[in-house]
Structures are given as C-alpha cells and as structure tokens.
C-alpha cells in the first residue's frame, strides 16, 4: 500500500497544514492588489510615460474570481489538514514527538538522540502513509458515489423532460 502513497504525497499533506495558516493573508494581499489597481497609476516605458488603471467592473469580476478560487483551495487544504491530523492521532506519543521535532522544527526538549528520532520518524512515516492512503481511498470512493448519484439524478431528470416532450407533441 505504501508504494501507492509516497513520501511526496505525505509532504503535500504537511504542506497543506502550513498553507492553510497562510491562506487568509495571501488572499487579502491579492484583494488589496486588485483594489490598488483601480487607482490611476503612472509608469515609464520605452516610449515615455503612460497611465493605467483597472476598471471597477473588471476589479469586481477579479475579486469574485479570487474569492471562488480561494474557497476551492480552502476546502481542499482543510480536507488534507484534517486527514493528516486524524492520522497523527493514531501514532504513539514518541512517534508524534519525533514527527513534530523533525517536520515542524519544534524543540527537542526530551533530548531524544538523532537515531531515536530517525527510528520513530521512520515508523511514523510508514503509519502516516498507510493511514492517509486508506483515508484518501475512502474519500475518493465517497466522491465517486456522489458523482454516480448526481449522474443518476440527471438521467432521471432528462427522462422526465423527454416524457414531458412526448406528451406535448
């Protein structure tokens, strides 16, 4: 199973936790950049000075697009973060400790040796990869069930429209 869920995959879940912390400030900076672009600005180019500004209509569309994109990203990051946290809860105390010391650079206040940290981190990594693989498979199965249910509902709706069309003709 672990060959199907690699260390790189585990890293993407770790990164999701970090990215989730920074997401709001990045979103706000993007929004501010759009607001600032509405003010007339001057720039110097090859052929002299020129001014430019984003129209308020374009800015409004960009803001809506940014909000929608960030919302999608937020959902994905929250899902991955939650999965990692749930997987971490299944580790032993020493494995969790080693993971925090090595991955999130927390202080090694227990003065665990490098060999011990490596041993517990290796064990934690194997368990996390296995657990996250299982969680990911369950998530994908659920999404597939939802997709099929929606498809069935769409087919039934289409059949209803066809029957209605036959009655009218």
CB 129 within 8 A of CB 5: yes
Model pLDDT for residues 85-121, shown as the tens digit of each residue: 999 999 999 999 999 999 989 999 899 999 999 999 9
Reported pTM: 0.74
Give the pair of three-digit tokens for residue 1: 């199973």
CA distance 42 to 22: 31
CA distance 134 to 150: 24
CA distance 115 to 98: 11
CA distance 66 to 62: 6
Model pLDDT for residues 17-48, shown as the tens digit of each residue: 999 989 989 999 999 999 988 888 877 877 87
Query: At a CB cut-off of 8 Å and minimum separation 6, what does 124 contact?
Result: 91, 95, 96, 98, 99
Instruction: Tell whether the model's pLDDT for residue 3 goes beyond 60.
Output: no
CA 133 to chain centre: 16
CA distance 8 to 127: 15
When pLDDT is cut at 50, 70 and 90, the band that residue 160 belongs to is confident
Domain tally, the chain:
1
Domain of 123? 2-168
């Amino acid at each position: 199973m672990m060959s199907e869920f690699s260390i790189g995959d585990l890293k993407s879940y770790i990164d999701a936790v970090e990215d989730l912390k920074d997401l709001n400030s990045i979103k706000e900076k993007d929004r501010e950049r759009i607001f600032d672009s509405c003010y007339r600005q001057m720039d110097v180019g090859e052929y002299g000075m020129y001014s430019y500004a984003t129209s308020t209509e374009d800015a409004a569309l960009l803001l809506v697009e940014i909000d929608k994109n960030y919302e999608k990203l937020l959902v994905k990051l929250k899902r991955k973060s939650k999965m990692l946290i749930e997987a971490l809860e299944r580790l032993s105390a020493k494995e969790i400790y080693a993971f925090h010391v090595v991955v999130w650079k927390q202080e090694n206040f227990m003065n665990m040796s490098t060999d011990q940290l490596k041993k517990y981190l290796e064990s934690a990594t194997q368990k996390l990869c296995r657990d996250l693989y299982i969680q990911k498979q369950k998530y994908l199965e659920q999404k597939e069930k939802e997709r099929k249910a929606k498809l069935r509902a769409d087919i039934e709706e289409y059949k209803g429209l066809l029957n209605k069309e036959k009655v009218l003709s």
